[in-house]
C-alpha cells in the first residue's frame, strides 16, 4: 500500500494523511483518482530520495540535493521563498527574501507570512530562535509540481503544492497548501521536534509527533487572529478544502472525528479517546489517526485554563517537548511529562497542573499515583505563571 511516510528513520512529514489520498483514489472521479495517485507516487519517490540523502549524510558526504543556503544560520527571522515553477527541483528560483516587498504571487507571499507567524510564535512566546534555536533560515518552495495535493517538511525546508489547479472547478477538492497558517506552523514544527525530542515517526511516538505539530500549528493561527482558547475553532487546515468537500478542515482538535464526512474523502477517522484507539500498520501505525487523542487532551486543558492557549497550555507543551520527552515517548509519557512541566512552571498541585491531569483523564489516560484534584476555581486562573522566572521570559 502506497503511503506518504513509511519510514520511521527518515520520514517525509506530509500534512495530508495517506488514507485521505487513498480514499480519493478509490472513490473519486477519474481525474481525481489520477491526481491522487500522482501525489501518492510523488511522495513515495520523495521519501526514497530522503533516505538516500540521509545515508549520504551519515557517511559524511554532503548531499548535493541540499542547497547550502538552507543551512544558513544568521540569527533572527530569515525567510527565503523559492518557486519550483511546476517542477521537482528544490529549492527552485529565489523570489522573495527577508524584508522584501510582496511578490504578488499569492502562494509565495502566504508562505512568507506563514513562516513569519510561526517564527514569531516561537521567538516572542518561547524565545526560540527559529527551528534549531540558532536562527536557521526558514526556506519554503511553492508551486511544487502540478496539481500536487500536499505540503511537507523534508528535514531541511518546506515544500507546498498548489492543490487541484489542473482539475475542472467542480472536481477540485484542495486549494493551494499555503492557504492556512496552521498548516505552515504544523509543518515547520516538525522541524522543531526534529531538533528536540525527535519523536519516532510511528505508532504512539509518531502520533505525538503529529499532535505536537497540530498544537503549535493551531497556536500560530490563534495568535495571529488573537483568539482566546474558548472561542477558537481548533480546526486544522480550515480553507484547504474547496466548496466541493463536505468538511471544515483536515482535523478537529476539539472534536476529533468530526472534521469531514465526504463521499470522496470518506469520514474523518480520528478518535478522541483511548477507547477508540486504532491499531493499524497503515499510516505509520496510525500517526495521523491517533493524534486526535492527545489533540483533544490539549484542547480540554487549554479551554479549562482559558485566556490565550499559547500562554499557559502552550508553555507546558513546549517545556515538555524541550526538556522531558524522548524519541520513544508514548501517550502516557506525554501525560506524565506535561503534568511534571506544569508543576515546575506553575507549582505543585496548582490549578494548571490539575487541569493537565484532568485533560488527559478525559481522553482515557490516567497519570499514575496522583490523587484526584479538586475542581478548579475559574477566578484563580489568571495568576502570573512561574514560567517567566524559570525560562527568563520578561513580562510583556
| pLDDT > 90 fraction of the chain, expressed in percent and rounded | 80
Q: What is the mean pLDDT of residues 305-322?
A: 98
At residue 293's C-alpha, the angle toward residues 153 and 323, to 5°, is: 60
DSSP character at residue 380: G
pLDDT over 80 (residue 363): yes
Q: What is the mean pLDDT of residues 322-328?
A: 98
pLDDT value of position 389: 37
State the Cα–Cα distance between residues 323 and 50, nearest whole angstrom.
Answer: 28
State the Cα–Cα distance between residues 356 and 313, nearest whole angstrom.
Answer: 8
The helix or strand, by DSSP H or E, that contains position 231, with its residue range, turns out to be none
Q: What is the mean pLDDT of residues 79-87?
A: 97
SS3 260: strand
What is the DSSP secondary-structure string of 163-174? -STTS-GGG--B
Residue 301 sits at φ, ψ, to 5 deg, of -65, -45
Residue 212 sits at φ, ψ, to 5 deg, of -60, -40
pLDDT over 90 (residue 72): no
Confidence of residue 9 (pLDDT cuts 50, 70, 90): low
pLDDT value of position 61: 35
Is residue 197 within 8 Å of residue 326, measured between CB atoms? yes
Domains of the chain by start residue, with CATH: 235-390 (1.10.390.10)
Give the range among 70-74, 217-221, 237-241, 250-254 with minimum mean pLDDT. Answer: 70-74
Q: How many CB atoms within 10 Å of residue 41?
A: 11
Model pLDDT for residues 183-233, shown as the tens digit of each residue: 999 999 999 999 999 999 999 999 999 999 999 999 999 999 999 999 999
Would the CA dihedral through 149, 152, 156, 158 be positive or negative? positive
Q: Which of 232, 185, 184, 192 is nearest to 209 (CA)?
A: 192
Contacts of 48 (CB under 8 A, 6+ apart): none
Model pLDDT for residues 139-159, shown as the tens digit of each residue: 999 999 998 999 999 999 999
Q: Which of 52, 50, 36 is nearest to 3 (CA)?
A: 36
Residue of 66 and 337 predicted with greater confidence: 337
Q: Which of 197, 202, 159 is nearest to 289 (CA)?
A: 202
Q: How many CB atoms within 10 Å of residue 36?
A: 26
pLDDT value of position 2: 35
Mean pLDDT computed over every residue of the chain: 88
Q: What is the mean pLDDT of residues 162-183?
A: 97
- Which residues form the catalytic set? 187, 288
Q: What is the mean pLDDT of residues 270-282?
A: 97
State the Cα–Cα distance between residues 71 and 236, nearest whole angstrom.
Answer: 29
Confidence of residue 370 (pLDDT cuts 50, 70, 90): low
Confidence of residue 372 (pLDDT cuts 50, 70, 90): very low
Give the range among 3-17, 49-63, 139-153, 329-343 with minimum mean pLDDT. Answer: 49-63
Would you state the cell numbers that stand for residue 135, as one nine-digit string? Answer: 536562527
pLDDT over 60 (residue 125): yes
pLDDT value of position 76: 87
pLDDT value of position 154: 94
pLDDT over 50 (residue 385): no
pLDDT over 70 (residue 37): yes
Q: What is the mean pLDDT of residues 283-291?
A: 97
Give the range among 64-68, 109-113, 117-121, 328-332 with minimum mean pLDDT. Answer: 64-68
Residue of 219 and 57 predicted with greater confidence: 219
Would the CA dihedral through 171, 177, 178, 183 be positive or negative? positive
Would you mind telling me the total number of residues written for the chain in this entry?
396
pLDDT value of position 46: 76
Side-chain half-sphere of 115: how many Cα atoms within 13 Å? 33
| Residue 40 to residues 2, 12, 148, 169, Cα–Cα distance (Å) | 6, 12, 9, 22
Range among 45-54, 71-80, 355-364 with highest mean pLDDT value: 355-364
State the Cα–Cα distance between residues 159 and 142, nearest whole angstrom.
Answer: 6
Confidence of residue 394 (pLDDT cuts 50, 70, 90): very low
Give the range among 7-16, 139-148, 180-189, 368-377 with minimum mean pLDDT. Answer: 368-377
Amino acid at each position: 500500500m502506497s503511503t506518504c511516510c513509511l519510514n520511521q528513520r527518515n520520514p517525509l512529514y506530509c500534512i495530508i494523511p495517506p488514507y485521505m489520498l487513498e480514499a480519493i483514489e478509490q472513490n473519486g472521479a477519474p481525474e481525481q483518482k489520477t491526481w491522487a495517485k500522482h501525489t501518492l507516487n510523488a511522495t513515495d519517490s520523495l521519501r526514497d530520495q530522503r533516505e538516500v540523502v540521509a545515508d549520504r549524510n551519515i557517511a559524511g558526504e554532503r548531499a548535493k540535493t541540499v542547497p547550502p543556503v538552507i543551512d544558513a544560520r544568521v540569527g533572527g527571522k530569515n525567510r527565503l521563498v523559492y518557486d519550483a515553477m511546476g517542477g521537482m527541483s528544490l529549492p527552485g528560483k529565489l523570489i522573495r527574501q527577508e524584508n522584501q516587498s510582496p511578490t504578488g504571487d499569492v502562494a509565495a507571499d502566504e508562505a512568507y507570512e506563514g513562516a513569519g507567524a510561526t517564527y514569531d510564535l516561537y521567538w516572542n512566546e518561547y524565545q526560540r530562535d527559529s527551528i534549531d534555536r540558532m536562527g536557521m533560515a526558514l526556506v519554503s518552495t511553492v508551486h511544487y509540481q502540478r496539481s500536487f495535493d500536499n505540503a511537507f517538511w523534508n528535514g531541511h525546508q518546506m515544500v507546498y503544492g498548489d492543490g487541484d489547479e489542473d482539475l475542472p472547478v467542480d472536481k477540485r477538492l484542495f486549494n493551494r497548501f499555503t492557504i492556512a497558517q496552521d498548516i505552515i506552523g504544523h509543518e515547520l514544527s516538525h522541524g522543531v521536534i526534529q531538533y528536540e525530542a525527535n519523536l519516532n515517526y510511528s505508532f504512539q511516538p509518531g502520533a505525538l509527533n503529529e499532535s505536537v505539530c497540530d498544537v503549535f500549528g493551531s497556536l500560530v493561527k490563534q495568535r495571529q487572529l488573537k483568539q482566546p482558547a474558548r472561542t477558537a475553532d481548533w480546526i486544522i487546515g480550515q480553507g484547504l478544502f474547496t466548496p466541493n468537500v463536505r468538511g471544515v478542515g483536515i482535523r478537529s482538535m476539539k472534536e476529533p472525528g468530526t472534521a469531514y464526512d465526504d463521499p470522496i474523502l470518506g469520514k474523518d477517522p480520528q478518535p478522541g479517546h483511548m477507547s477508540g484507539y486504532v491499531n493499524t500498520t497503515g499510516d505509520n501505525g496510525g500517526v495521523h489517526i491517533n493524534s486526535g487523542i492527545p489533540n483533544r487532551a490539549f484542547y480540554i486543558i487549554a479551554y479549562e485554563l482559558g485566556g490565550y492557549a499559547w500562554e499557559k497550555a502552550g508553555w507546558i507543551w513546549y517545556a515538555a517537548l524541550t526538556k522531558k520527552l524522548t524519541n520513544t515517548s508514548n501517550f502516557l509519557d506525554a501525560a506524565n511529562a506535561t503534568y511534571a512541566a506544569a508543576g515546575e512552571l506553575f507549582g505543585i498541585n496548582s490549578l494548571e497542573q490539575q487541569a493537565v491531569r484532568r485533560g488527559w483523564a478525559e481522553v482515557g489516560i490516567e497519570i499514575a499515583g496522583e490523587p484526584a484534584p479538586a475542581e478548579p476555581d475559574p477566578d484563580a486562573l489568571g495568576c502570573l505563571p512561574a514560567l517567566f522566572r524559570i525560562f527568563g521570559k520578561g513580562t510583556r
